[in-house]
Amino acid sequence: MSTGFKEMDLSYTKDDFVSNQDVRWCPGCGDYAILATAQRTLAKFKTPRENYVFISGIGCSSRFPYYMNTYGFHTIHGRAPTIATGLRCVNPDLSIWLITGDGDGLSIGGNHLIHCMRRNVNINILLVNNQIYGLTKGQYSPTSTQGKVTKSSPYGSIDYPINALRIAIASEATFIARTLDADPNHMGMIMTRAAQHKGVSFIEIYQNCIIFNDKTFAPVVGREVRDDRMIYLEEGKPLIYGKQRNKAIKLQGLHPEIVDLEGDGAGQDLLIHKEQSPDASYAYLLSQMSYPEMPVPFGVFRAIERPTYDDMMNDQVEAMKKEKGPGDLKKLIYGSSTWTVK
């Protein structure tokens, strides 16, 4: 989002964005890293602090606004996108950040998330995905894996999980990325990109819930395995990964395939990452790469430009003012046909 960035002589530190409220997440919660990264990231910009607004729904991650020394609104379950949309429509100067989770954003608020993205409302959405309901103490969520045993699924969840990025892609979000709580540098880079993007930015953050779903992403992002199971997307570069940087992805028909750069993959046409692909099928293809068959991509899946909802709304208002003149109350009230009683 770029409209909120006024060039002013402001230099902030992380502390400027820390509120006076005690943070009350569980010790070891991945949200701490996300909060610190957000605070550090905002401090890099020259946007006046009063122009930031953090809006959230309900859930562990939705406590976020209380801890940011900015404007904030902790709203109701699943509805944060609607409140953010209304705010954005009446104020083009703010930098609006929406914090949601896999339950808040993809279950109870799924409808709003979809419509906010397809309208390309100029806000930044951080979807903190821990594949579990934390605040209600451990029921399965729409992103939980099938078979997940929780309090509400003692014999294993029979729900097929939803993939957050695919919802964003199908909704034609103009900026779509994935990052993780355990990599603050990458997370900071992605948040920076989102902040600079004009239009809706959607970031899925893999987050570890230490109490109810500990190490759920460990098979992918665990220290020992991550080099071979994660793939960092870089614009214009081939999709190469592996501890030895010896594996890559190529396209076989419509399917991604792993090739060994030191073996049969040498010299082959590798898949080159392109964020601005005009159609969404490439991003969709990336979103289907999942553990254990494939390495899991992190980074910017898609970044395209398209007029924002709020700009178009404001443009219409301005155009009508130009065409019809600023509204005159007498004209409004008198209408086109009156009569006089004497």
Which stretches of the chain bind another protein, using CB under 8 A?
19, 21, 48-51, 53, 55, 58, 65-66, 68-77, 79, 81-91, 93-94, 111-112, 114-115, 313, 316-317, 320-321, 323-327, 329-330, 332-335, 337-342
CB of 314 to another protein, least distance (A): 8
- Beta carbon nearer to another protein, 63 or 193: 63
CB of 142 to another protein, least distance (A): 18
- Beta carbon nearer to another protein, 23 or 233: 23
Q: Would you tell me how many other CB atoms lie within 10 Å of the CB of residue 233?
A: 17
DSSP classification of residue 98: E
Q: Would you tell me how many other CB atoms lie within 10 Å of the CB of residue 252?
A: 9
CB of 104 to another protein, least distance (A): 13
Are the CB atoms for 33 and 184 separated by under 8 Å? yes
CB of 141 to another protein, least distance (A): 20
Instruction: Please enumerate, as own/partner, the contacts of 113-117 that have beta carbons within 8 Å and a separation of 24 or more.
Output: 113/81, 113/167, 113/171, 114/167, 114/170, 114/171, 115/81, 115/171, 116/81, 116/82, 116/84, 116/85, 116/200, 117/167, 117/168, 117/171, 117/172, 117/173, 117/200, 117/202
- Beta carbon nearer to another protein, 83 or 230: 83
**Residue entry with tokens 């949309």:** 85
- Beta carbon nearer to another protein, 158 or 320: 320
- Beta carbon nearer to another protein, 254 or 333: 333
Q: In whole angstroms, give the CA distance from residue 332 to residue 329.
A: 5
CB of 320 to another protein, least distance (A): 4
